[in-house]
Amino acid sequence: YGAVGIPSEAGYGGGYPGDPFPLESRTELRRRGRTLLDKAVRDLRTEFAGARGRLTEGHPPVELLAEAKKARAHLVVLGARGLRGLDRFFLGSVSQQVLAHAESSVLIVP
């Protein structure tokens, strides 16, 4: 089960000062997210016939945890990338937050 989170129109990515995703680009972000998710699901189905995906908006760790819970996932697989160094220490990362709060096993792939 895959989920791709993109910023929402309220909360993260949707209205805080310095928002890197202006309203006019959200449609493009949704389109790109859908394209990426569809390709990932097609690729996964070559090995896992039951693979499916859902495009969500919001704070990525919250959305991923909610989707994993709804799907009763046995395993959440995440990539580890993004913030490094002090930024990661102070802000945390999606993979760290999911690892800390998931009700299932978590595999973090570098």
Structural element, H or E, at residue 105: strand 105-109
CA angle (79 as vertex; 76, 85 as ends), nearest 5: 125
Would you state the pLDDT for residue 51?
84
CB neighbourhood size of 103 (10 A): 11
Task: Round the average pLDDT of the chain to a whole number and report it.
Answer: 77
- pLDDT band, very low/low/confident/very high, at 19 (cuts 50, 70, 90): low
- pLDDT band, very low/low/confident/very high, at 93 (cuts 50, 70, 90): confident
Statement: residue 34 has pLDDT above 70: yes
Tell me how far apart the alpha carbons of residues 85 and 88 are, in angstroms, rounded to a whole number: 6
Statement: residue 7 has pLDDT above 90: no
C-alpha pair distances (Å), 44 with each of 2, 53, 87: 9, 10, 32
Would you state the pLDDT for residue 103?
94
Q: Name the E strands within the chain.
A: 2-6, 53-57, 75-79, 105-109
Would you state the pLDDT for residue 110?
72
C-alpha pair distances (Å), 107 with each of 35, 77, 99: 24, 5, 8
In this structure, are residues 6 and 29 in contact, taking their beta carbons and an 8 Å threshold? yes
Statement: residue 17 has pLDDT above 70: no
